[in-house]
Amino acid sequence: MFNPKNYGSAMVKFTTSIIIPAYNEEDAIESTLQRLVDLKIHEENEIIVVDDGSDDSTAEIVRKYPVTLRMHHMNKGYGAALKTGLRWSKGEYVILMDSDGQHDPTNIADIRALLGEFDMVIGERSETSFQVKRRRGGKRLIKWMGQYLVEQKLPDYNSGFRGFRREIIAGMLHLMPNGFSFSTTSTLAFLKEGYNIGTIPIEVSARIGRKSNVKMVKDGSKTLLLLFRIIMLFNPLKIFFPASIITFLAGVGFGIVGFILYDRFSNGAVVLTMMGMFLFFIGLIADQVSILNRRKQ
């Protein structure tokens, strides 16, 4: 167990900040922090634990260790906890990891090393890593849709073990959600903005303590909606253009059939054709608006 008497109070300027969100993790947080201390990671890195409104002894356990504790008085969500940590962080680079014992702290050095070359580094989970089997189908669907929308191959888009250049992610915080989809959003945002993303292979263990708060149906549907929201923000024509073409062609098709059978274009065909044209022009306007909305805050 770490002895706080051995921890000096001198201020040290760190180049890397490690942010750990925690919500009711009294069964796991001590093991996670002890491993960081045993590896002396706290001596070379700023460690910030954000207690997201826990109603157990998470905060009391964190206070025993040489880390910075930030607290929410109510549960705001995974993304909100990360935002708080990012706003308080001082390092040039930031690394996010979970508090539930799934991530191996020995990978921190590898992520930090690659951040000298890449703007974002993701810990890509191996096939043998622990994962809840019932979520695999939903993850494959979301990944396939994400790859279609961003027109690129996605790395491990929702891995929570990742690092950034702090300046870049700080400029995107206004785009990030307060919920669990922070990881997904940041991956898509970096890809659409043309930043370089590197990966390292990692092994993920089963979480310690309580079960995950993520619900497959409820949160999976939120992620699908989130993907559409991100594309509306970064590339709305990806949605509006296919919709306009389909609607326009449907209108023309119905019109031709009506003209052949009844010697006239039906009102429905005219409406569909006009709607297809309007959708295209609305998409052009949305594309210009998205460029304005993406300006760094």
pLDDT per residue rounded down to tens, the chain (297 residues):
444 444 443 445 679 999 999 999 999 999 999 999 999 999 999 999 999 999 999 999 999 999 999 999 999 999 999 999 999 999 999 999 999 888 999 999 999 999 989 999 999 987 766 565 555 656 666 677 777 777 777 778 888 999 999 999 998 898 888 887 888 889 888 888 889 999 999 988 877 766 655 555 555 676 677 777 777 877 888 889 999 999 999 999 999 998 888 888 889 999 999 999 999 999 999 988 888 876 655
Identify whether residues 186 and 273 lie together within a single domain: no
> CATH no. for residue 83?
3.90.550.10
Please indicate, yes or no, whether residues 183 and 277 belong to a single structural domain of this protein. Answer: no
Co-location of 222 and 243 in the same domain: no
Whether 279 and 134 map to the same domain: the answer is no
Same domain, 65 and 200: yes
> Are 95 and 129 members of one domain?
yes
Q: Within this chain, do residues 16 and 153 fall inside the same structural domain, yes or no?
A: yes
Say if residues 99 and 25 touch (Cβ distance below 8 Å): yes
Provide the 8-state DSSP code for 158: T
Q: Domain end: 218, 233, 248, which one?
A: 233
Which residue among 217, 233, 249 closes a domain? 233
Dist CA 65 CA 43 (whole Å): 12
Distance of CA 99 to the CA centre of its chain: 16
Q: What confidence tens digit (pLDDT) does each residue in 157-196 have?
A: 888 999 999 999 998 898 888 887 888 889 888 888 889 9
Residue type, 59: A
Domain endpoint, select from 192, 216, 233: 233
Question: Do 91 and 226 reside in the same domain of the chain?
Answer: yes
| CA distances (Å), origin 238, targets 25, 36, 72, 132, 176 | 40, 44, 38, 32, 21
Nearest to 269 by CA among 283, 281, 261: 261
Looking at the structure, tell me whether residues 145 and 276 fall in a common domain: no
| Count of domains for the chain | 2
Residues 162 and 69 both lie in one domain: yes
Q: Which residue has the tokens 């760190």?
A: 14
Q: Are residues 228 and 241 in the same domain?
A: no
Q: 283 lies in which domain range?
A: 237-293
Judge if 20 and 49 occupy the same domain. Answer: yes
